Structure 1
């Protein structure tokens, strides 16, 4: 067959890091950073396959969905098979990306799953009371201060956020069931609790198709002479962000400079927390 000829080229996309979040040296995965690379990967070669390597603890549900949809739209349009390979983790939003694959593989020790939704924060109302600080909040719209960390937690706020989480969770579950139809080997009560598993256990549950790495699998499918062609994402980085920051262009510190870096530090802490949930 023509695609078994020597020098078959398989485009490889790498989705690495938190989804939607930005860290000081590496902007997070988003449709903005990934779209052009995804389109290039599906145009790059006549080989009827695109490989995607994922190493992500999750993040934004919206960005996960947008990237997933773009991959599936192009796969259907170009009639190409998508092979996904999980590295350290394809968890939460990372697994959402993984189910864009027609076949999913992982290392036996990869972390896979975490099909759930989480929201976390802190409550500081007692701390500011102890410090003698008075909190003043003015809103137009009675729910505008929902989950304000400096106000006492309200039952109606918790109910509202849980309802929102359930909507997002239901959408996530629907995508997994649709993409893994006929392959899932456990009940909803086990698969969709937010739990995560090793790659080997994920095979047993039907969340992935096998244990393999991208190079070995592509050689198995397309021969020893297959070439893997990385397609880099437009991730920018610290220097490009500095060039684009308002402080760098003379518009002052309040919208850039120190405050932009403060935001980056917070994002880095949040990203580190995502990885830490999985012991990575």
Structure 2
């Protein structure tokens, strides 16, 4: 306290707030009209009514903290529920995909078996030859030969029909199918008919030539009796970008088709002999299948492709028509059954995935460099 008698009572020496004399003996503060609340370290000011005591203010603060915690917990629970919903959705979707794939596989194995459900009434036994003929495609020799035998053994099949829509492909696969058709044809139990849709060229015509009869649309593309090898020469490009090609071989001609090395005259002559011999086999098999129905035109085996109408004049086909006309002529109605074995969905998916990966990596290549 100051000793200055002129200072008014109740003031302090430059200090804010009441002095000890402003408080009574029970600790009440005349400025707040209530019990003194000691300040807490780091405490936030509490809102409330002016006449709220300290206990009420603490209770209000506690309730505010609980409300804030409730909001936080609610947000966390909402996010967890949302996450669980998405997890459940993806799990149900994966389960659906697995169940559909499983059902498709079981259906193809047990219920969609053509040999098990073949009708006894007269019908055409269809075998599809669609797309490129290759060992890793749906039009492979094993699958088509299985379909041929299924249709041949079916009691109600009045004829076996090769439904062809293919630009050709592998010589080996085509020759295997050709040989099987000729074997069945020699038995003579039922006719084998090739019906060409849009395209029946090269290896596809190789197959058709083994049939007893070939039918095509007037605008079908038929023929292309030839052999082709196609490649690229990158020897100049690799020299320009400064890349050294390192190839080790055992045998002086082992790498003669390497696209990064020049194809010399001797190697080119050798490879042309391989193509000519394969072409000669193609021609001999077509002549064996078609016999005297072929014309004497030298252009037939030149690799040209003909329309169905032109092919009729050249003896490449026997008549113009369609699958429906064949069915009406043979069984009196458009009644046919597809005996081509169903594709395994898992195998098809795996094969397609492998092809895509090979194409992306740049390592995809046909099983043989020669193409019909």
- Note if 1:205 corresponds to 2:276: no
Query: What are the equivalent positions in structure 2 for 1:200-279 lying under 5 Å apart?
Result: 200-224=309-333, 227-236=335-344, 239-242=346-349, 259-260=357-358, 262=360, 266=364
Match of 2:162 among 40, 49, 52: 52
Q: Which residue number in structure 2 is paired with residue 102 of structure 1?
A: 212
Contact 2:129 2:165 in 1 (8 A): yes
1:129-175 deviations in whole A, cap 9, x for unaligned? 00000111110011100111000121112111111111111111001
Q: Which residue number in structure 2 is paired with residue 192 of structure 1?
A: 301
CA pair 16-217 structure 1, distance change in 2 beyond 3 A: same
- In structure 1, how many angstroms separate the alpha carbons of the residues matched to 2:351 and 2:327? 40
Q: Compare relative contact order (CA 8 Å, sep 6+) and give the higher one, 1 or 2.
A: 1
Structure 1 stretch displaced more, 75-84 or 196-205: 75-84
- In structure 1, how many angstroms separate the alpha carbons of the residues matched to 2:122 and 2:348? 37
Q: Which residue number in structure 1 is paired with residue 128 of structure 2?
A: 14
- Note if 1:118 corresponds to 2:225: no
Contact 1:117 1:168 in 2 (8 A): yes
CA RMSD of aligned residues (A): 2.7
Contact 1:21 1:267 in 2 (8 A): no
SS of match in other structure, 1:181: helix
Contact 1:48 1:79 in 2 (8 A): no
CA pair 241-262 structure 1, distance change in 2 beyond 3 A: farther
Count of aligned residue pairs for this structure pair: 248
CA pair 197-51 structure 1, distance change in 2 beyond 3 A: same
- Please identify the structure whose Cα radius of gyration is greater: 2
- In structure 2, how many angstroms separate the alpha carbons of the residues matched to 1:263 and 1:78? 49
- In structure 2, how many angstroms separate the alpha carbons of the residues matched to 1:260 and 1:111? 31
- In structure 1, how many angstroms separate the alpha carbons of the residues matched to 2:341 and 2:177? 12
TM-score, normalised to structure 2's length? 0.61
- In structure 1, how many angstroms separate the alpha carbons of the residues matched to 2:363 and 2:127? 27
TM-score, normalised to structure 1's length? 0.80
